[in-house]
């Protein structure tokens, strides 16, 4: 399997299948008008010989690789520890597969490796990129911009909705602020008055927007009722301990995601606080099975994470088609999906 | 971010950093002999401008992309559900990052997508490939062979140790058969006489080898004591139910991996069988935290999954270096790592 191994040719496929070269070519290139038994024979020959069409040569003509890069601006360890990413990738994978486009996931150990990711994107290996979990000081957007590949972002990027260098930013997100408002209003409706918030990492817009939503309802809130988390269960535990220390009278918590809510629930149980009687708890995401398996099961703000992934891929593919057909034209616009409050036992 | 956006040039970087083009070039291309404050200024300019070296042009000279593909012959959903893959990827990622090589994970929905993976590999986008979780009838090896990229396999491929088309197959694996023998001998040493085996999917060599190890010790075993699983907790539950039905007198179970052992433990508890008093249970992998969190904690055969990933990457990189230095020469040979029995409470 070195570079010197000779590749099977289309002629060899045709000979093995007992058909003409033209017929073999039609089958391999997805054309119509070949009878099913012949298609079957060619396919079998392709598989037996391990024939692969010369994609590099074909790319030179079409300038398409039928491949889309996915970049998650988190270290590889978090990508596999947080089910959020698996869900988003599932949506992306289904959509790309349906369009016979290869999902190319570029993993990194950390932010230091983003220059290398930019290099790969600039190297002409993919048609476009899907990027998510950006942080405010991330070098990635600049690198992607430099690489000149069409991109759709998961989550509103931190530089705002407006155009950047005359190229409109396209993203898919849920209504983080509105969802947060719904959660806090629900707690207010339960008669709670000392409502705390465990934030996500505030260098991400999703976390900042959820905090804004909390403040929309809790105007003039005591700052001691806001503790910074990081979207992980351990961060939720830490934040809950801080809150109990600063405001032992806290009677409700809105956590910025389900994982940190799960951490908060563990600390409350440890301290003998009953949920929801003493402290009501709401999360965000409706991440399954997490949200159903907490004790008690979690009331939360649902967003359709898999659908966000699917939409990201769909918008990018549409953009690539347009680019191929008409040259660079206006990109499709961003999409913000609504959220819904899911009531379980915790609030 | 369309193809028409003009990329920042090296000249622009030099101007922004207030250094000569030659100095900027030396920093960008990793050369020595530039003073630290200047290096810092160039790096900042690179980041601010989003400059990306023209990798495509560079690849033409070096014929290297500094990128390695990872292909897991399982659907994307299993890749994210089974911590085995995350561990192996962690080892691979660390090793590739240390050599500034980009990890390119090619995800699929299923086996039907492998032809597309072969196309991407043949397209000249990566220097080599790391492939794991092959199944016997997988079209992937033929496609990879056809793509002509140097490859290292995780787990012994099903076509044996010998050369295939004069190219030696290089793989990294653990001693599946020896580890299985150790597990079963331990059960025999505990005085158990009706020892069952829950297999993995038998179209994978790891599962077939563990079954062979079981048979090495349990010569002439009653076939009713062997139930086929699939390396998942659900498969372990199913197999355990079958075993209890066929041989209610079973007094020990060797499960082919920890996840299926966890499933078996759940069924045993459900049926009121005490572990290890009534039925002793051993797993394989020492997958943490799973193996420590089962009830009771799991006695198991430890293999160093992360190290296998690291070694796969190391062997491939060595092979690529050799190929660059000396042309196609003999590849490094395969590595089989030893296993160790880890005793916890279940056996």
Same domain? For A166 and A196 the reply is: no
Closest CB from A83, A97, A149 relative to B113: A97
Query: pLDDT at residue A190 above 90?
Result: yes
Between residues A58 and B344, which one has the greater pLDDT?
A: B344
Strands B340-342 and B299-302 turn out to be antiparallel
Q: Give the domain CATH number at B35.
A: 1.10.260.40
Low-confidence ranges of chain B (pLDDT < 70): 1-7, 29-32, 52-64, 160-167, 322-332
Same domain? For A130 and A145 the reply is: yes
What's residue A330's pLDDT?
52
DSSP alpha helices (H): ranges in chain B?
Answer: 10-17, 21-28, 36-49, 55-62, 76-81, 83-98, 114-122, 140-147, 176-189, 205-217, 233-246, 258-270, 290-293, 305-326
A43: confidence class by pLDDT, cuts 50, 70, 90: confident
What's residue A277's pLDDT?
97
Same domain? For A40 and A84 the reply is: no
Between residues A63 and A141, which one has the greater pLDDT?
A: A141
Q: In terms of C-beta density within 10 A (0-12 exposed, 13-18 middle, 19 or more buried), how is residue B305 classed?
A: buried
Q: Could B46 and A115 be called an inter-chain contact, meaning their C-beta atoms sit closer than 8 Å?
A: yes
| Residue B235, both tokens | 């498969």
Give me the total of CB pairs closer than 8 Å, taking one residue from chain A and one from chain B.
212
Same domain? For B157 and B272 the reply is: no
A167: confidence class by pLDDT, cuts 50, 70, 90: low
Name residues 113-142 of chain B within 8 A of A (Cβ): 113, 115-125, 139, 141-142
Closest CB from A4, A103, A148 relative to B7: A148
Same domain? For A86 and A157 the reply is: yes
In this prediction, residues A46-50 reach a mean pLDDT of 78
Same domain? For A169 and A310 the reply is: yes
> Which residues of chain A lie closer than 8 angstroms to B103, CB-CB?
76, 106-108
Same domain? For A310 and A169 the reply is: yes
Q: How far apart, in whole angstroms, are the C-alpha atoms of residue B50 and residue A139?
A: 8
> Could you count the other beta carbons within 10 Å of the beta carbon of residue B135?
16
Q: How far apart, in whole angstroms, are the C-alpha atoms of residue B204 and residue B210?
A: 10
Domain-embedded: residue A73: yes
What's residue B326's pLDDT?
46
What's residue B101's pLDDT?
94
pLDDT in tens, A119-138: 899 888 999 999 999 988 88
Domain-embedded: residue A60: no
- Rounded to 5°, angle at Cα A204 from A202 and A205: 105
The whole-angstrom distance between B6's CA and the closest CA on chain A is: 8
Q: What is the domain range of residue A195?
A: 176-302
In this prediction, residues A276-305 reach a mean pLDDT of 96
What's residue A54's pLDDT?
56
What's residue A239's pLDDT?
98
Q: Give the domain CATH number at A71.
A: 3.40.50.2300
The segment with the largest mean pLDDT, out of A146-155, A319-328, B153-162, is A146-155
Between residues B57 and A344, which one has the greater pLDDT?
A: A344
Query: pLDDT at residue A225 above 90?
Result: yes
* Cβ-contact A283, A257 below 8 angstroms: yes
**DSSP-assigned beta bridge partners for residue B285:** B302
> Which residues of chain A lie closer than 8 angstroms to B116, CB-CB?
66, 100, 102
% chain A with pLDDT above 90:
61
Q: How far apart, in whole angstroms, are the C-alpha atoms of residue B247 and residue B251?
A: 9
Domain-embedded: residue A1: no
Domain-embedded: residue A342: no
What's residue A147's pLDDT?
84
Query: pLDDT at residue A53 above 80?
Result: no
DSSP A289-312: THHHHSSSPPEEEE--HHHHHHHH
In the sheet with B128-132, reading across from the earlier edge strand, the strands are: A335-337, A171-174, A151-154, A128-132, A67-72, A102-107, B102-107, B67-72, B128-132, B151-154, B171-174, B335-337
pLDDT in tens, A24-33: 877 776 556 7
In the sheet with A280-285, reading across from the earlier edge strand, the strands are: A226-228, A195-199, A252-255, A280-285, A299-302, A340-342
Same domain? For A166 and A315 the reply is: yes
Between residues B25 and A157, which one has the greater pLDDT?
A: A157
Query: pLDDT at residue A112 above 80?
Result: yes
CA distances in angstroms from A144 to A44, A70, A122, A141, B341, listed in the order given: 41, 12, 8, 5, 48
- Closest alpha carbon within chain B to A53: B119
The whole-angstrom distance between A220's CA and the closest CA on chain B is: 38
Domain-embedded: residue A343: no
The whole-angstrom distance between B237's CA and the closest CA on chain A is: 19
Q: Which sign does the torsion angle of CA A11, A14, A18, A24 carry?
A: negative
Mean pLDDT, chain A, integer: 87
A144: confidence class by pLDDT, cuts 50, 70, 90: confident
Closest CB from A4, A56, A102 relative to B106: A102
Q: How far apart, in whole angstroms, are the C-alpha atoms of residue A149 and residue A42?
A: 36
- Closest alpha carbon within chain A to B139: A47
- The answer to whether A77 faces chain B, any CB pair under 8 Å, is yes
Same domain? For B260 and B165 the reply is: no
Same domain? For A192 and A286 the reply is: yes
Number of Cα atoms under 13 Å in the Cβ half of residue B201: 14
Q: How many folded domains does chain B comprise?
A: 3
Same domain? For A116 and A182 the reply is: no
- Rounded to 5°, angle at Cα A253 from A250 and A256: 150
Same domain? For B143 and B184 the reply is: no
Q: Could A165 and B139 be called an inter-chain contact, meaning their C-beta atoms sit closer than 8 Å?
A: no
A165: confidence class by pLDDT, cuts 50, 70, 90: low
Name residues 195-234 of chain B within 8 A of A (Cβ): none
Assess: ipTM above 0.85. no
**DSSP-assigned beta bridge partners for residue A254:** A197, A282
Query: pLDDT at residue A59 above 80?
Result: no
- Closest alpha carbon within chain A to B67: A120
Name residues 34-73 of chain B within 8 A of A (Cβ): 46-56, 59, 65-67
Candidate from A35-49, A89-103, A210-224 with smallest mean pLDDT: A35-49
- The answer to whether A163 faces chain B, any CB pair under 8 Å, is no
Name residues 294-323 of chain A within 8 A of B (Cβ): 323
């Amino acid at each position: 399997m070195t570079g010197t191994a000779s590749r099977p040719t289309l002629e060899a496929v045709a000979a093995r299948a007992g058909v003409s070269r033209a017929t073999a070519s039609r089958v391999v290139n997805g054309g119509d008008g070949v009878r099913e038994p012949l298609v079957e024979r060619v396919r079998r020959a392709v598989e037996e010989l391990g024939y692969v069409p010369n994609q590099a040569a074909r790319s030179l003509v079409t300038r398409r690789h039928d491949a889309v890069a996915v970049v998650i601006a988190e270290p590889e360890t978090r990508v596999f520890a947080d089910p959020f990413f698996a869900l988003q990738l599932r949506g992306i994978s289904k959509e790309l597969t349906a369009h016979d486009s290869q999902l190319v996931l570029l993993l990194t150990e950390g932010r230091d490796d983003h220059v290398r990711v930019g290099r790969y994107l600039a190297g002409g290996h993919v048609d476009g990129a899907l990027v998510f979990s950006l942080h405010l000081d991330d070098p990635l957007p600049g690198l992607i911009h430099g690489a000149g590949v069409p991109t759709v972002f998961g989550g509103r990027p931190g530089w705002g909705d407006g155009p950047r260098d005359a190229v409109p930013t396209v993203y898919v997100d849920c209504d983080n602020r509105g969802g947060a408002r719904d959660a806090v209003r629900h707690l207010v409706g339960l008669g709670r008055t000392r409502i705390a918030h465990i934030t996500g990492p505030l260098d991400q817009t999703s976390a900042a927007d959820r905090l804004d939503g909390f403040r929309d309802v809790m105007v003039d809130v005591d700052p001691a009722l806001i503790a910074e988390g990081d979207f992980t269960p351990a961060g939720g535990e830490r934040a809950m301990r801080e809150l109990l220390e600063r405001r032992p009278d806290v009677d409700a918590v809105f956590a910025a995601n389900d994982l940190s809510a799960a951490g908060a629930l563990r600390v409350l149980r440890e301290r003998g606080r009953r949920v929801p009687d003493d402290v009501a708890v709401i999360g965000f995401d409706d991440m399954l099975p997490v949200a159903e398996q907490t004790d008690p099961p979690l009331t939360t703000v649902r967003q359709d994470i898999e659908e966000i992934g699917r939409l990201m891929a769909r918008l990018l593919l549409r953009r690539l088609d347009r680019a191929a057909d008409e040259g660079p034209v206006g990109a499709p616009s961003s999409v913000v999906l609504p959220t819904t409050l899911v009531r379980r036992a915790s609030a």
